[in-house]
Amino acid sequence: GAVVSQHPSWVICKSGTSVKIECRSLDFQATTMFWYRQFPKQSLMLMATSNEGSKATYEQGVEKDKFLINHASLTLSTLTVTSAHPEDSSFYICSAGDYDRGTDTQYFGPGTRLTVL
């Protein structure tokens, strides 16, 4: 149980295009999901907190107009990288907490590798 999926697992796009990444909690409801970015050989950096039915909360230095987050249901959050550029190439990971199980553990998706040409 407590599985989080991401789609796509990898994507290559041209500079200037937009890319949407989906994060789904498969067997639990997640009122809150988190989006992280990980550059090669670096740790995870939190980008934003996605709240179901309300606006996302972005970390300092993350452009909310560039990284659009929508959390329209209790099992789905999407991250759209708008007008992507090569510097946006990274590994994007989402996570969600399954608090109905009485645990503080966050469950992470398998990640999406974005390459912008």
What is the nearest approach in angstroms of another protein to the Cβ of residue 102? 12
Binder among 14, 43, 53, 87 for another protein (CB under 8 A): 43
Q: Encoding tokens for residue 106?
A: 């966050």
Stretch that binds another protein, among 36-44, 61-69, 70-78, 82-90 (CB under 8 A): 36-44
Contact 21, 92 (CB under 8 A): yes
Q: Find, among 50, 102, 103, the residue nearest to 78 by Cα.
A: 50
- Applying CB under 8 A, the site for another protein has a residue count of 26
Of the CA atoms within 13 Å of residue 40, those in its CB half-sphere come to 4
Work out whether 95 is an interface residue with another protein (CB under 8 A): yes
Work out whether 68 is an interface residue with another protein (CB under 8 A): no
Work out whether 54 is an interface residue with another protein (CB under 8 A): no
